[in-house]
Amino acid sequence: MNQLSGAERRSTVDGGEPGRRWTDPNSWRLRTKLVLATMLLLVAICSVVGSLLYASMDNFLTQQLDTQLLQASRRAVQFGSLSPQQASAGTDQSTPTSHPDPLGARGQGAGTLNARLHGDVLDFQGLINAEGQRVGLPSSDLAVIFSIARSQATQSERPDPSPIDRDLSVGHYRLVAAKSPTGDVIVTGLPLAAKDSALAQLVLTTIIVSGGGLVLIGLVGTYVIRRTLKPLAQVSSVAAKVAQLPLDAGEVALAMRVPPSAAHPGTEVGNVGHALNRMLDNVAGALQARQESEKRVRQFVADASHELRTPLTAIRGYTDMLKMTESLSPQGSESLGRVETQSLRMSRLVEDLLTLARLDEGQPLKLGPVDLTQLVVETVTDQKVIAPDHQWRLALPAEPVEVRADGARLHQVMVNLLSNARKHTEAGTVVTAGVARSAAGDAVITVTDNGPGVPAELQKKVFSRFTRADKARTGTEGSTGLGLSIVQAIVEAHGGSVELSSRPGRTEFAVYLPA
């Protein structure tokens, strides 16, 4: 049946099924985990390869620049150490009066920076711009160059001084300071712009290529993983459908199987699919055997109940005849009375068993319009006559509540619920029978009492057959333990549900019937 119980309806109204928590990796699909793991692995590989490539290129360009820088430094030192006459012979100067400017050395390219520290004074400084002209340096740059030159001047002379990087106002430069034979310190620098541009271009190219590759691999990987896991999805789908089947009772057609394409032994998923199919075959066989057994038991119960009605009727008839025709001793009258009482009790048990057997067979209901308000009033009135020591009350709506149902069966439901409240509570207990409409439009019948309540361990199985309360709640009358089972079977045959909520001082049975 597709009807929801009252608790399920309330759960759906209160919020329904909780959504998937995407922040919890344990709730992710296997396909998602595999794609993410592949992407993270590729990101890590691209990061390592990019880092190694960047470091290798940086080292290569730095070595290349250092070679050019040291060559430019040697040219500047050699030219700056010439005498005025030697420098004049190699240049256009006419009458030089001091050591020549290092920037005048042949072969110095655009961007080359030179400065000479003579004593404590930078007597020559400047750089060659893109047009090949000599331009001076701002004072902020001179301070940096002066610091480098002084540091070299205080150290012992080294054949291969180490270049250093500095940020100047004219750009990012790599500088080296070297002592000339005359004792001066000549600082030479080359711009790092070309190197930085090459590295930036390398990083951009690596990012674009890696990003494009990751997107492509992600799409292809998702497609491949989806196709690879498709058999597993088919296995999961079959298992989910089987899990939703009511296998506990009734005739169940267990026809679902994993398709042959996903049940090839030899592969991991194929082994799972093959094992699931074998398990379903085994379960189907067990269900068929259970159905046959239940059918035989139901038939036996129905036949036995039907056959027992005749001798029980005869026993009651002979008992009545003996009471009317024979003069019995007090002890004989008592014994005959006990025989009559037990025969009546057995008759009720037989009728209950026969009712359950007919309901289990799925006999059709005699549906028609039923006024639940009138039904409740009539059954409560009957109980007032049977048990005047209880307080019987009604909780009825202003308008009648009608449903399409089997009136005789619903009358039996009300009789069983009211009798259950009467039998299992002490005298003076208030029993209230009510009718109402739920928010969803369903009809709701309630039977409430203020008795001691149903023990918690009994509430879980109160609708099971032959379940009886303990002596603290049974009162003085016996019980077959079938009344509430009949109630549940009749209500479910109408597509409804019955629920129990109980605590000391309040016990309520609620019957939900679809509108």
Q: Is the pLDDT confidence value at 195 over 80?
A: yes
d(CA 88, CA 515): 116
| pLDDT for residue 10 | 40
Q: Is the pLDDT confidence value at 477 over 60?
A: no
Greatest mean pLDDT among 266-270, 343-347, 396-400: 396-400
Among the ranges given (104-118, 263-277, 355-369), the one the predictor scored with the smallest mean pLDDT:
355-369
Give the DSSP H or E segment for 433. Answer: strand 430-437
d(CA 14, CA 20): 17
- Place 48 in a pLDDT band, splitting at 50, 70 and 90: very high
Per the CB < 8 A criterion, the answer to whether 424 and 469 are in contact is yes
Q: Is the pLDDT confidence value at 212 over 60?
A: yes
**Domain 245-363, CATH number (from 1.20.58.1880, 1.20.1260.10, 1.10.287.130, 2.60.40.1180):** 1.10.287.130
| pLDDT for residue 196 | 92
Per the CB < 8 A criterion, the answer to whether 177 and 148 are in contact is yes
Nearest to 35 by CA among 227, 262, 177, 267: 227
Calculate mean pLDDT across residues 306-316: 77
Q: Which residues pair with 431 in a beta bridge?
A: 392, 449
| pLDDT for residue 49 | 92
Q: What is the pLDDT of residues 418-445, one digit of tens each?
A: 988 888 889 889 999 999 988 888 899 9
Q: Coil, strand or helix: which one is 268?
A: helix
Q: What is the pLDDT of residues 316-349, one digit of tens each?
A: 787 888 888 888 888 888 888 888 888 887 777 7
| pLDDT for residue 93 | 44
Q: Is the pLDDT confidence value at 2 over 90?
A: no
pTM of the model: 0.49
Q: Is the pLDDT confidence value at 9 over 60?
A: no
d(CA 469, CA 30): 49
Q: Which residues contact 59 (CB under 8 A, 6 or more apart)?
A: none
Neighbours of 94 (CB within 10 A): 6
d(CA 110, CA 120): 28
| pLDDT for residue 434 | 92
CATH no., domain 368-513? 3.30.565.10
Calculate mean pLDDT across residues 86-112: 64
Q: Is the pLDDT confidence value at 251 over 70?
A: no
| pLDDT for residue 59 | 94
d(CA 413, CA 379): 10
Q: Coil, strand or helix: which one is 343?
A: helix
Residue by residue, DSSP assigns 186-221 as EEEEEESHHHHHHHHHHHHHHHHHHHHHHHHHHHHH
Rg (CA), the chain: 50
Q: What is the pLDDT of residues 348-364, one digit of tens each?
A: 777 777 777 777 766 77
Q: Coil, strand or helix: which one is 165?
A: strand
